[in-house]
Amino acid sequence: MHDQESLIGKVTGVRWKGPFTFHLSPRATIRTFALLFCLSAVAATPASRIAGEVDARGLVDAVGGYKGRVVLVNFWATWCVPCREEFPSLVRLQRAHGSRLQVVGVSTDFARERPGVEKFLAEQQPNFPNYHKRAGGDDEDFIEAVDPKWGGELPFSVLYGRDGRKVRVLSGQQSYADFDREVRKLLR
Amino acid sequence: MRSLRITLVAMAVLALSLPACAETPAVGSAAPDFQLSTLDGKPFTLSKTVGGHNAVVLMFIATKCPYSNAYNDRMRDMAAAYASKGVLFVGINSNKTEPLAEAREHAKSNRHTFPIMKDPDNKVADLYDAKRTPEVFVVDKTGVVRYHGRIDENHEDPKGVTSPDLKNALDAMIGGKTIERAETKAFGCTIKRV
């Protein structure tokens, strides 16, 4: 208790003089309001809808954590119109197949467009995790690590079987029926 | 005689259908020939153009793709810088969603004075199996693909480029050296096909 008081006192300048009695200088008043403002700002910030930042290695680990389910990793970006059009099909797909399927989204947006990614996810309300590709490094290394057949075009999806092995890739925009057909093949 | 005729017809049908299911021409193989009209109505035939240049740079581009647009200035500057070295840059817009008038306006607003062509029904994109914009093929004067891939690795910041792959490839070709990285990849927008 004593340590806590001294810490708050150090930050704000408020001097505790006993129950219901403390000394509040003008500077301490400003500091106290500043502290309260910061705390309220932190409390008011909504939690990020981005599951985290991933590089190719981190993505492999994330997919590996879903062994036993069919996994569909979808690479998208907010500036990519076909990606935006395709996204609701992924939400519907996850809902339709429940725990037998795990959709994982990866935004490849520029680092500066992270607020736009948050906004898009808030609008779409996806029922699956969405990562943001970690900035830096050479995109070619990331693309190659995901799949050598991938040329970098977006959207792009990779399907993994229940044993965690990569089964096939889907280049460009897919319809719900296309996704559903491919997932059902792996669920047989 | 009749069976020979049927065989010839079948071969002709097969030959005509081949471009639609072509694969990306590998580096070192012949660049598929094509003919298109430039935005100002002039005919452009690849096979008639390559012989007069040290290299022809085919760039699949777009008007709305942010990745392609990030390179508008670099395309213009490189086309100008390499013109005196016998390199011709050309743009190919294969997106069905971007009509001729839009491509013309885009070229004008970005001061792209190099030849740009609309690719109706994305036939040339299919011929090269081009997947994204921007995507580049460099063809040498004998009509062979010498480089395929990106312009560089940094779409966000031209000043921060550390791997100017297209420039390196062109410099190596002009200098008679081996191209160290003849195939590269980058993110881009899917070409919107018919």
In chain A, residues under CATH classification 3.40.30.10 are 52-187
* pLDDT band of B13, cuts 50, 70, 90: very low
Structural domain spans, chain B: 22-190
Of B66, B163, B190, the CB nearest to A138: B163
Question: Domain spanning B22-190 has what CATH number?
Answer: 3.40.30.10
Write out the two tokens for A145.
């690590």
Q: Between A and B, how many CB-CB pairs are < 8 A? A: 58
CA-closest candidate to residue B145, choices B24, B19, B22, B29: B29
| DSSP 8-state assignment for residue B156 | S
Q: Does the ipTM exceed 0.95?
A: no
Q: How far apart are CA A21 and CA A9, in angstroms?
A: 14
Q: What is the pLDDT of residue A32?
A: 63
Of B64, B156, B185, the CB nearest to A152: B185
Residue A186 in this model has a pLDDT that exceeds 80: yes
Q: What is the pLDDT of residue B17?
A: 44
Task: Specify the pTM.
Answer: 0.79
Interface test with B, best of A106, A108, A140, A149 (most B CBs within 10 A): A140
3-state secondary structure of B41: coil
Q: What is the pLDDT of residue A167?
A: 96
B contacts of A80 (beta carbons < 8 Å)? 189-190
Q: How far apart are CA A153 and CA B171, in angstroms?
A: 27
Which chain B residue has its CA at the smallest distance from A152's CA? B187
Residue given tokens 């050479």 in the structure block: A138
* pLDDT band of B192, cuts 50, 70, 90: confident
Q: What is the pLDDT of residue A24?
A: 63
In angstroms, what separates the C-alpha of A80 from chain B's closest C-alpha? 7
* pLDDT band of B21, cuts 50, 70, 90: very low
Q: How far apart are CA B104 and CA B83, in angstroms?
A: 21
* pLDDT band of A13, cuts 50, 70, 90: low
CB contact under 8 A, B190 and A140: no
Q: Half-sphere exposure of A182 toward its Cβ, with a 13 Å CA cutoff?
A: 21
pLDDT in tens, A33-63: 666 655 555 455 568 999 999 999 999 999 9
Question: Domain spanning A52-187 has what CATH number?
Answer: 3.40.30.10
Q: What is the mean pLDDT of residues A152-176?
A: 95
Q: How far apart are CA B152 and CA B169, in angstroms?
A: 11
pLDDT in tens, A58-106: 999 999 999 899 999 999 999 898 999 999 999 999 999 999 999 999 9
Structural Rg of chain A based on CA atoms: 24
Angle A81-97/A114-124 helices, nearest 10 degrees? 40
Q: How far is residue B189 from each of residues A91, A170, B22, measured CA to CA in Å?
A: 22, 15, 20
Q: What is the mean pLDDT of residues A143-165?
A: 95
Q: How far apart are CA A168 and CA A162, in angstroms?
A: 13
Q: What is the mean pLDDT of residues A110-124?
A: 94
Q: What is the pLDDT of residue B5?
A: 57
pLDDT in tens, B24-66: 899 999 999 999 999 999 999 999 999 999 999 999 999 999 8
Phi and psi at residue B173, in whole multiples of 5°?
-60, -50
Residue A3 in this model has a pLDDT that exceeds 50: no
Which chain B residue has its CA at the smallest distance from A82's CA? B190
| DSSP 8-state assignment for residue B18 | G
Q: What is the pLDDT of residue A110?
A: 84
In sign, the C-alpha dihedral spanning A145, A146, A148, A152 is negative
Q: What is the pLDDT of residue B194?
A: 81
Which chain B residue has its CA at the smallest distance from A142's CA? B186
Contact B125, B93 (CB under 8 A): no
CB contact under 8 A, B185 and A82: no
Window from A13-22, A101-110, B60-69, B139-148 with minimum mean pLDDT: A13-22
Looking at per-residue pLDDT, the higher value among A27 and B189 belongs to B189
Q: How far apart are CA A74 and CA A156, in angstroms?
A: 6
Q: What is the pLDDT of residue A11?
A: 53
Q: What is the pLDDT of residue A87?
A: 98
Tell me the sheet residues that pair with A169.
Answer: A158
Q: What is the pLDDT of residue A19?
A: 57
